[in-house]
Structure 1
Amino acid sequence: MSKRRILVPALLAAGALLTGPVSPAQAADDVYLAAGLRGASEVGAPGDADGASTVVLKVSGNQVTFAARWNGIGVPTAGRVHAGAKGTEGDVRLDLLPGSLPASALGVTGTVTASADVVDALVENPGGFYANLSDAAHPKGAVRGQFHRLSRPIDLNGVLHGGDQATISASTGTQAGGRATWWLRPGGSSIAYTVTWSGLGRVTAGHLHKGAPGRHGAVAAELFTVPRGLPANVTGVTGETPVAPKVAKHLAAGPGGYHADLRTAESGDGRAAARLSGAAFTHPRGFTAEVLRGSQIYACTELPAGGYGFTQLGVTATLKRGIEHTFVTPASGPPQWVAPDGSAVRGAVFSRTPNGAHIPELVLDATQAGAGAGLLAQATQILRLNTTGGVAPAGACEPGAEVSVPYGADYVFLG
């Protein structure tokens, strides 16, 4: 194998969108789909009861760019898109992860090429397809979820970042036209990392070094490694790796004394290196918040067709991360979600998907209604997925009566 050395200048910047700038013409043609995966949704063999994942697809012509982030499961050994309705098994239509991932990984992004018939079917009927992640303990599937069409473009980087804000960043370009962007968040005895790249070939490792780019500083932390290289279609990875507490402390206090380094199969001992910066910046976040305690609230009102029945009065729910979910105004809404940091959004329903004996799954457009920075400050869409319970009582009722019906759901916030 030939080896070439990559030495690159450091550019202190937060980085661009994973999928690149989107022109109005491109946005009109691109289709975005999202799925919330759970172990309970697996068919044919038990999934991981504690597992969850978010998978987002951007369909642009015959190119399908994906971003996936998971928790509660082992590192995926396979990630695929299948044709099949909820509760059924179907054939594989897209193989997203045809290779090994690093042990510290919590998410990946990349691109695959799809045939015209798969693209047409996926765009016309997203609910007829599902994402499935397998791990070593669940070779037939650890988590699964059906796709839903989003109403507008999102930044797939947000899915990689999850719900936490990075504190350190770096962006670099190479003489050969390659590019890499890093985001890091040191804390305690670990470093959370996200890195995306283009034009660098098959990436085999990501390291944190002491010293400036271009100098062989000591490796302070091995963020990830895949000796045989990541799958060739993968262009980004996120994860968290344990480090000595002093490394995390020193990095947080003086990021300019370190650089991040990507190694590739093609470059051998060459490096794509970028000096790190602690300059404040924000980035999109994409995360799931499960309902911890929740009730759909109904009131007995007169129905348009005559008689009385229970209709929606409101909702009250506490989600993970301390998010509170209510109606702004009883009966008329709109629904709102408020985070402890003061960021907040209000939702308007874009689509509904029936979910058997449970309240429907929803895709909602989000409007900002709180602080300009924080957990929900960049959310543009909300999905209510994997619903359980919450259905209004059937039959006649006493006018003015109210009832609270417990429910569960995963709320996915994307931006």
Structure 2
Amino acid sequence: MAAVTVSVAAVTYQASAAEVAAPAAVGPESRAVAIPGIPAAIKPPNGSKPIGAYVVTSGTQTYTCTGGVYTGASVPEAQLSGTGGRLHHFAGPSWQSKRDGSLVTAAKVAESPRAGTIAELLLQVKTSTGKGVLSRATYISRLLTSGGTAPGGACTDGSTTAVPYGAVYVFWTN
């Protein structure tokens, strides 16, 4: 059986071809795709194939103080490096290729909590502009997260704080 390996910096995602791509569901005999290392709650749809993997080389999640505490959604600001070059990840959430200018925005579909760090996510691409490395993406996984959680304690309403984080982003097409 053929193996698919995507290596980015010190992170490797490896699975057999059968685990990465399965035939489209055609009836009750169809089985779920087995994607190792991705929690069931955030697996991309059956038939999805990875088209790129990127590691956060520097990144923050910025929180705004509301009601005396840092809560709610954060705003990302990150530089990523991976199989298709470098990406800029920013509010939207959005990802833009520095190589070819292709840009996608996405919305959270599901999450999988991780103790002591921001959750792993499955996002669905909502808009795509330009032709290039990101133009075929339909889903994005945020995996292997570290850091990025909202600070505890009291704060002054309206103040912001940027918290460093790390993750691996995998872009999928189906």
**TM-score for both structures, normalised by structure 2:** 0.76
Give the Cα–Cα distance (whole angstroms) in 1 for the partners of residues 22 and 140 of structure 2: 23
Residue 369 of structure 1 corresponds to which residue in structure 2?
Answer: 128
Residue 207 of structure 1 corresponds to which residue in structure 2?
Answer: none
Cα deviation 1:90-128 (Å, max 9, x = unaligned): xxxxxxxxxxxxxxxxxxx799xxxxxxx5xxx5xx9xx
Matched, 1:353 2:143: no
Specify which of 159, 163, 174 is matched with residue 405 of structure 1: 163
Aligned ranges for residues 5-404 of structure 1 at < 5 Å?
A: 50-55=10-15, 65-67=18-20, 123=32, 131=36, 145-147=37-39, 148-151=42-45, 153-154=47-48, 156=49, 159=50, 286-302=51-67, 308-311=68-71, 312-320=73-81, 321-327=85-91, 334-340=92-98, 341-371=100-130, 373-404=131-162
| Identical columns (%) | 31
2:129 alignment partner, SS class: coil
Checking the alignment, whether the CA contact within 8 Å between 2:106 and 2:127 is kept in structure 1 is no
Amino acid at match of 1:376: L
User: Which structure is higher in RCO with an 8 Å CA cutoff and minimum separation 6?
Assistant: 2
**Uncovered stretches (5+) of structure 1, i.e. residues with no partner:** 1-35, 39-48, 58-64, 68-108, 112-118, 132-144, 160-285, 303-307, 328-333
Checking the alignment, whether the CA contact within 8 Å between 1:151 and 1:350 is kept in structure 2 is no
By percentage of residues, which structure has more strand? 2
Q: How far off its partner does 1:130 sit?
A: 6.9
By percentage of residues, which structure has more helix? 1
1:375 alignment partner, SS class: coil
Amino acid at match of 1:146: I
Give the Cα–Cα distance (whole angstroms) in 2 for the partners of residues 402 and 66 of structure 1: 42
Cα deviation 1:176-226 (Å, max 9, x = unaligned): xxxxxxxxxxxxxxxxxxxxxxxxxxxxxxxxxxxxxxxxxxxxxxxxxxx
Amino acid at match of 1:364: L
Q: How far off its partner does 1:407 sit?
A: 0.2
Give the Cα–Cα distance (whole angstroms) in 1 for the partners of residues 111 and 47 of structure 2: 19
1:66 alignment partner, SS class: helix
Give the Cα–Cα distance (whole angstroms) in 1 for the partners of residues 16 and 153 of structure 2: 40
Q: 1:299 to 1:110 in 2, by over 3 A?
A: closer
Tell me the C-alpha RMSD between the 2 structures. 3.0
Checking the alignment, whether the CA contact within 8 Å between 1:54 and 1:288 is kept in structure 2 is no
Cα deviation 1:358-389 (Å, max 9, x = unaligned): 00000000123320x10100000000000000
Larger radius of gyration: 1
Q: 1:56 to 1:396 in 2, by over 3 A?
A: farther
Give the Cα–Cα distance (whole angstroms) in 2 for the partners of residues 309 and 289 of structure 1: 32
Q: 1:407 to 1:37 in 2, by over 3 A?
A: farther
Q: 1:401 to 1:66 in 2, by over 3 A?
A: same
Checking the alignment, whether the CA contact within 8 Å between 1:290 and 1:409 is kept in structure 2 is yes
Give the Cα–Cα distance (whole angstroms) in 2 for the partners of residues 55 and 349 of structure 1: 25
Checking the alignment, whether the CA contact within 8 Å between 1:368 and 1:377 is kept in structure 2 is no
Give the Cα–Cα distance (whole angstroms) in 2 for the partners of residues 409 and 395 of structure 1: 25
2:158 alignment partner, SS class: coil
Q: How far off its partner does 1:288 sit?
A: 0.6
